[in-house]
Amino acid sequence: MPRLIDRTGTVQPNPWELLPRDATVETALAAASEHIIVNALLWGEHKAALKQGGKQVAVWLDSDQTVDLIAADLAELPLVALNFPGFMDGRAYSTSVLLRRHCGYSGEIRAIGDVLRDQLFYMKRCGFTMFDLKDSVKLEDAQRAFSDYSGTYASTVEEPQPLFRRVQRAGA
C-alpha cells in the first residue's frame, strides 16, 4: 500500500529511494531507482560524482544535521527530506522553517522516519509538503490530520500572517 501523501492527504507515487546514512557513492549509484535521496554528508563530500552518475539526486538531513550543510546547493535539489528518528525529536520542524524562510527553498520538503498521524498538522504548518508515513499509521486517519485545526495563532511557513494580522479581531 502506498504510504506517501501530500498535504492535501492525497496519496502520491514515490519514485525516490532513500539511502542510509552510511551509503557510499558506489552503493548510491547502484541503487535500483533512478531517483535517490542521499544523506547530506555524502552529498557534501561527493557532489560531483553523484551528479555525474545519471540519476536524480536529492538529499536528506538527519535531526542532528543542520541546514548549512546544504544551504549553498538548494537550487539544484528538487527535494529535501528531513528525518524524525523519533517523533518527539522536534528539530526538523525548525529545520523546515529555516529552509523555507531563511533559504527561500521552494522544492519539496519530505518528512521521513517516525512520521505519525498526530504530528502531521504541525509539520504541514512548518513547511513540509510530503509525508512518508510510518507503517503503523492508518492512511484514512492520516488524511484527516490536516484538518485538525482551521488555523493557528502564530506566523508560520504555511500562513506567514499571524492571526492578528490575518483577521479583524474585536477588543473588549
Partner 1 sequence: MYRYDDHDRQMQRERVAQFRDQTRRFLAGELEPAQFLPLRLQNGLYIQRLAPMFRIAVPYGCLSSKQLRKLAWITRHFDKGYAHFSTRQNVQLNWPKLPEVPDILEHLLEVEMHANQTSGNCIRNTTTDQFAGVSPYEIEDSRPWCEIIRQWSTFHPEFAHLPRKFKIAVCGTEHDQAAVQVHDIGLYIVKSAAGEIGFQVLVGGGLGRTPVIGSVIREFLPWQHLLSYLEAIVRIYNQEGRRDNKFKARIKILVKELGIDVFRDKVEAEWLHCKDGPATLTLAEFQRCKSFFPEPAYEVLTDVNAEVENLLTQDVLFSQWHERNVRAHKKPGYRIVTLCLKATGSAPGDLSAEQMEFVADLAERYGFGELRVTHEQNLVLTDVRVSDLPALHKALKNEHLATPYTGLLNDMISCPGGDYCSLANAKSIPVAESIQRRFDDFDRLKNIGEMTINISGCMNACGHHHVGNIGILGVDKKGEEFYQITLGGAANRYTALGKVLGPSFAQDEIPDVIEKIVELYLAKRLDGERFIDTVNRLGIEPFKEHVYAKAD
* Cβ contact 168:143 at 8 Å: no
- Does position 161 interact with partner 1 (CB under 8 A)? The reply is yes
Please report how close the Cβ of residue 157 comes to partner 1 at its closest, in angstroms: 9
What are the strands of the beta sheet with 79-84, ordered from one edge? 4-6, 130-132, 108-113, 79-84, 56-61, 35-39, 16-18
Which residues inside 119-138 make contact with partner 1, applying CB under 8 A? 119, 121-123, 125-126, 138
Residues comprising the chain, all counted: 172
**Distance (Å, whole) CA 65 – CA 95:** 9
Task: Kindly tell me which residue out of 4, 97, 139, 143 binds partner 1, with binding defined by CB under 8 A.
Answer: 97
Q: Any contact of residue 1 with partner 1 (CB under 8 A)? A: no
Distance of closest approach, residue 13 Cβ to partner 1, in angstroms: 27
Q: Does 54 bind partner 1 (CB under 8 A)?
A: no
Among 66, 107, 139, 143, binds partner 1 (CB under 8 A): 66
Q: Choose the binding region for partner 1 from 2-10, 11-19, 44-52, 143-151 (rule: CB under 8 A).
A: 143-151
Exactly one of 101, 113, 131, 140 binds partner 1 (CB under 8 A); that residue is 101
Question: Least distance in Å: CB of 127 to partner 1?
Answer: 10
Q: Are 91 and 124 in contact (CB under 8 A)?
A: no
Q: Which is nearer to partner 1, 46 or 124 (CB)?
A: 124
* Number of chain residues interacting with partner 1 (CB under 8 A): 43
What cell numbers appear for 83 in the block?
A: 528525518
Contact positions toward partner 1, by CB under 8 A? Answer: 66, 87-91, 93-95, 97-98, 101-102, 116, 118-119, 121-123, 125-126, 138, 141, 148-156, 160-165, 167, 169-172
